[in-house]
Amino acid sequence: MTSTAERVPGSASAEPGTRQRGSGPRGGNGAGRRRSVTSSRAPLVLLAPAALLLLALVVYPLVRLLVISFQDYGLRAIFTGQAGFAGVTNYTNVLTDPSFWPVILRTVLVTGAMVVGTIGIGMAVSQLLTRLSVAMRTVVSVVLVLAWAMPNVASSLVWQWLFQPFYGVLNWLITQLGVFGDHTQDNWASSPGQALTIVLTLVIWQAVPFVALTLYAAQSQIAPEYYEAGSLDGASSWAMYRAITLPALVPTLLLVTILSVIWDFNVFNQIWLLTRGGPEDTTLTLGIWTFVKSFVSNAYGQGAAIAVISTLILGALTSYYIRRLVRSGEEDL
């Protein structure tokens, strides 16, 4: 007598442990493989536009910059489109220039002062936001966003007007106080110390809103139970800030520090509009020196070499913080 399994083709009992083609919903393994291939390609498709933008706006300019740094690129090359190979001559001329090491040291010191001032004031403003009422916090946040959103060229021109001799607001205010005498004709850009002060003040004023709001957002995520426990133990506000707030803010602090170093190292508009690198080269940083070499001296090859060196220095300065940031992210996981 023939069994049911023998009479019904493709039954489960006909071939134990095997699966017939087309079994299961939507065709079985074939559809599953198609879904897995599609899902594996989806991230690549979504990342493709960003990758193309990075290639067009970052990778290609860097490669082009590197090529120009090894060429004898001047006004003739701009008009003819042809530039001879110069080897390492541009780098040799830059590295042996008497201004090279003073500019490097000045750039590092100015960047450090900007970053320290920005992070310090930003932490203070962030802590202040946690103590304000909802209405006042909203007002302060809006003011910070407006200050940060102002284009740096516009804010630099406003700053230039504030410190102008004869009709500058700050000179008029100091003169009206009558404590320091008549400062109506005081030209801030002509004194090395004053010129550096107005540049640092402007850059820090523009950068503080981003740091303050970012740190406040991170600080608002700390569970209030920790502060309640600290209050029950009799800890002071400073002790709780040091033991609870700061450890929780370390990843965010590393992030804003990296971004501040990158932004402040490449500051150009503010310095050029206010002081043009002077007086007495007090504010002559690598960004200003690159521009002067390229567009004032028409030595585009040397300017490109300075830009490549700046990129290497910036990478070395930020590599440590990037490793720390990645390591802290892995620890959080």
With helix as H, strand as E and coil as C, how does 240-291 read?
A: HHHHHHHHHHHHHHHHHHHHHHHHHHCCCHHHHHHCCCCCCCCCCCHHHHHH
Amino acid residing at 153: V
What was the pLDDT predicted at 3?
Answer: 46
What was the pLDDT predicted at 31?
Answer: 61
Round to whole Å and give the CA distance between 159 and 140: 21
What was the pLDDT predicted at 305?
Answer: 93
What was the pLDDT predicted at 38?
Answer: 63
Give the C-alpha distances (Å, rounded to integers) separating 203 from 110, 207, 266.
11, 6, 11
Round to whole Å and give the CA distance between 218 and 201: 26
What was the pLDDT predicted at 206?
Answer: 92
Rg of the chain, C-alpha, whole Å: 30
Round to whole Å and give the CA distance between 184 and 28: 86
What was the pLDDT predicted at 12?
Answer: 43
Q: Which of 91, 115, 94 is nearest to 103 (CA)?
A: 94
Round to whole Å and give the CA distance between 274 and 185: 17
What was the pLDDT predicted at 34?
Answer: 64
Round to whole Å and give the CA distance between 251 and 263: 19
Residue identified by tokens 């498709």 is 45
The backbone region for 115, taken as left when phi is positive above 0, alpha when psi lies in -120 to 50, beta otherwise, is alpha
Q: Dihedral sign, CA of 299, 300, 301, 306?
A: positive
Amino acid residing at 323: R
3-state class (DSSP) for residue 137:
helix
What was the pLDDT predicted at 105?
Answer: 94
Separation of CA 234 from chain center:
40
Strand partners, 72: 84
What was the pLDDT predicted at 278?
Answer: 84
pTM, full prediction: 0.79
Strand partners, 71: 85
Round to whole Å and give the CA distance between 270 and 250: 30
What was the pLDDT predicted at 66?
Answer: 92
Q: Which of 142, 268, 328, 210 is nearest to 277 (CA)?
A: 268
Length of the chain measured in residues: 333
- What the block records as the tokens of 327 is 């390591």
Round to whole Å and give the CA distance between 103 and 285: 6
- Between the two ends of the chain, the Cα-to-Cα distance in Å is 64
DSSP string, 147-175: HHHS-HHHHHHHHHHHT-TTT-HHHHHHH
**Environment class of residue 276 by beta-carbon count within 10 Å: exposed (0-12), middle (13-18) or buried (19+)?**
middle
Give the residues of the chain that fall short of pLDDT 50.
1-27
Residue identified by tokens 């300019």 is 61
Q: Quick check: bond before 279 cis, omega within 30?
A: yes
